[in-house]
Amino acid sequence: MHVYQLFEIWHKCDKNQWMAQDSTRQLRIAVVEDEPAIRNLYQTKLELCGFAVQTAPNGHEGLSLVRSFAPDLLLLDLLMPGMNGDEMLELMRAEEWGASVRVIILTNISRSEAPMTLRFLSVDRYAVKAHHTPSQIVEIIYEVLHIKPANLK
């Protein structure tokens, strides 16, 4: 993790800058990431941006989390102990409720090194952690969830 990424977490999101077009409820994001510092970084950043966030440290706990939390979006690492992200995603997609969850893969392996099964698992975006700041990931989340900046309405 780069120093600028750690510093950036303290730059609070302007919750009024971004608004869901039908802002009747708080959007839910599940973060499944084995590295505690990265997991906590994204949880804090996303909560500051107004999302309801829950986390899990591996694919087994992540699958239980998404079943109970019913997130609008899943931010998913690939390389984790116990059950990798692609295995978790395959199990989630096999269930009726899991077919509609939006997914952003956030990992440190390149797309060319990623498991081939991801092509068939309806991944919305693929991002390499080392190439994106938390604020850039938030922008990707808004893009995937079709949320526009309030000043563009």
Residue 115 token pair:
């498991």
What is the distance between the alpha carbons of residues 31 and 26, in angstroms, rounded to a whole number?
Answer: 16
**For the ranges 30-39, 72-81, 118-127, 131-140, which has the lowest average pLDDT?**
118-127
* Mean of per-residue pLDDT scores for the chain: 83
Whether residue 119 has pLDDT greater than 90: no
Distance linking the first and last C-alpha atoms of the chain: 35
pLDDT tens for 11-60 read 546 454 444 445 567 999 999 999 999 999 999 999 999 999 999 999 99
Q: Tell me the pLDDT band of 152, cut-offs 50, 70 and 90.
A: very low
- CA-CA distances (angstroms) from residue 142 to 46, 77, 105, 117, 150? 11, 19, 15, 25, 12
Count H helices and E strands in the chain, helices first.
5, 7
Residue 67 near residue 90, CB atoms below 8 Å: no
3.40.1350.10, 3.30.470.20, 3.40.50.2300, 3.40.50.300: which CATH number matches 3-152? 3.40.50.2300
| Full-model pTM | 0.82
Domain ranges of the chain: 3-152
Residue 92 near residue 60, CB atoms below 8 Å: no
Residue 44 near residue 20, CB atoms below 8 Å: no
Q: Tell me the pLDDT band of 7, cut-offs 50, 70 and 90.
A: very low
Whether residue 75 has pLDDT greater than 90: yes
pLDDT of residue 109: 86
